[in-house]
Amino acid sequence: MCFNYISRSDSQKKRLRGDGLKALADYMKSDQCRNVFLMVMSHCRISTAAGIPDLRSPKTGLYANLARLNLPDPEAVFQIPFFRNNPVPFYTLAKKIYPERYRPALTHSFIKLLHSRGLLHTCFTQNIDTFERKAGVPEDKIVEAHGSFATQRCIDCKTPYGDDKMKKAIREEEIPRCEGCGGLAKPDIVFFGESVPDKFRASEPSLQEADLLIVIGTSLTVHPFASLVYSVPEDCPRVPINLVEVGDFDKADDLVFTGKCDEIVRALCRELGWEEELDKAWAETAGNVEGAEAAGELDEAERIESEMDRVTKDLERVNDPDEKGDREI
As a whole number of angstroms, the distance between CA 46 and CA 104 comes to 10
Measured over the CA atoms of residue 58, residue 63, residue 68 and residue 73, the dihedral's sign is negative
Q: Which among 43, 121, 146, 223 is annotated as catalytic?
A: 146
DSSP result, 238-260: EEEEESS--S---STT--EEEE-
Amino acid at 246: V
What number of other Cβ atoms are within 10 A of residue 182's Cβ? Answer: 10
Cα(36)–Cα(48) distance, rounded to whole angstroms?
24
β-bridge partners, 222: none
> For residue 98, with 0-12 CB atoms within 10 Å meaning exposed, 13-18 middle and 19 or more buried, which class applies?
buried
Other beta carbons within 10 Å of 204: 16
Compute the C-alpha angle 308/310/314, nearest 5°. Answer: 115
115 counts as catalytic: no
The catalytic residues are 146
